[in-house]
Amino acid sequence: MIDLLNEPEIFPYDKVKGQILTEDSYVENAHVAIGFASRCWKDSVFDTEEALRIANELCAYIRLLKEGRGE
């Protein structure tokens, strides 16, 4: 598992919430990200803060994979 919490894409206030993408493969993490993003809608209201949280974590994860530092 890649530790994403110290990456520059992650907002300080999201670091205390813990990491969302904790699986060992990019396929599993993609499924987790999609599932998490689908829960950003609550009572017909879109939770932008939570959507940004998963988007930033996913961006950090993809960048690390691209740089060859991912699993």
Give the model confidence (pLDDT) of 20-56 as tens digits. Answer: 999 989 999 999 999 999 999 888 999 999 999 999 9
The whole-number pLDDT of residue 42 equals 86
> How do the domains of the chain map onto residue ranges?
12-66
| Confidence check: pLDDT of 7 > 70 | yes
For the chain, how far is it from start to end, CA to CA, in angstroms? Answer: 7
Half-sphere exposure of 30 (CA within 13 A, CB side): 5
Mean pLDDT of 56-67: 95
